Amino acid sequence: MDATDRVPVEVAVGVLIERDAHGREGRFLLTSRPEGKVYAGYWEFPGGKLEAGETVEQALRRELTEELGITIGEAHPWQVEVMDYPHARVRLHFCKVYTWDGVFEMREGQHMAWQSLPVEVMPVLPGTIPVLQWLAAERGHAGLTHQDSPAGD
């Protein structure tokens, strides 16, 4: 069975974006994958698997409370991407989120970083790269969106 024969795991992903006083999109939040998970240490947009009967927004709301300790406002459906990883095929439902309440708590031992293009954190999870490209296209950003590895590696 190759990757395309696998049933995708449905995943809700939050692209948390700061807005300026004029409503323009600014920095966005990336979090690292915690130790013990596949791709530990890689940077991604936060989120997680949908549970039985959940909508994308319900799953995203639950996951961001569980992982980050925040309560999100409205989740704006944005893009859907299917990624084939060695361990799973995932369908990523990306939602932009502009409002949230609470203080960020890294409840799974992960790290967080507010980023602009090109992102400074690395390595970036493969499923995150298309999102950075979409953001670059929307924002008129030309050039690199991320680095594959630290200089000299």
Cα gap 66→152, rounded to integer Å: 37
pLDDT score of 150: 59
pLDDT score of 148: 78
* 145 pLDDT above the threshold of 60: yes
Mean residue pLDDT across the chain: 94
* 109 pLDDT above the threshold of 50: yes
Q: Where are the beta strands (DSSP E) in the chain?
A: 9-19, 25-32, 43-44, 47-49, 71-72, 75-84, 89-97, 100-101, 112-115
pLDDT score of 130: 96
Enter the DSSP assignment of 116: -
pLDDT score of 4: 62
pLDDT tens-digit profile of 35-90?
999 999 999 999 999 999 999 999 999 999 999 999 999 999 999 999 999 999 99
* 142 pLDDT above the threshold of 80: yes
138 contact partners, CB below 8 Å, separation of at least 6: 25
pLDDT score of 48: 97
CATH code of the domain made up of 3-139: 3.90.79.10
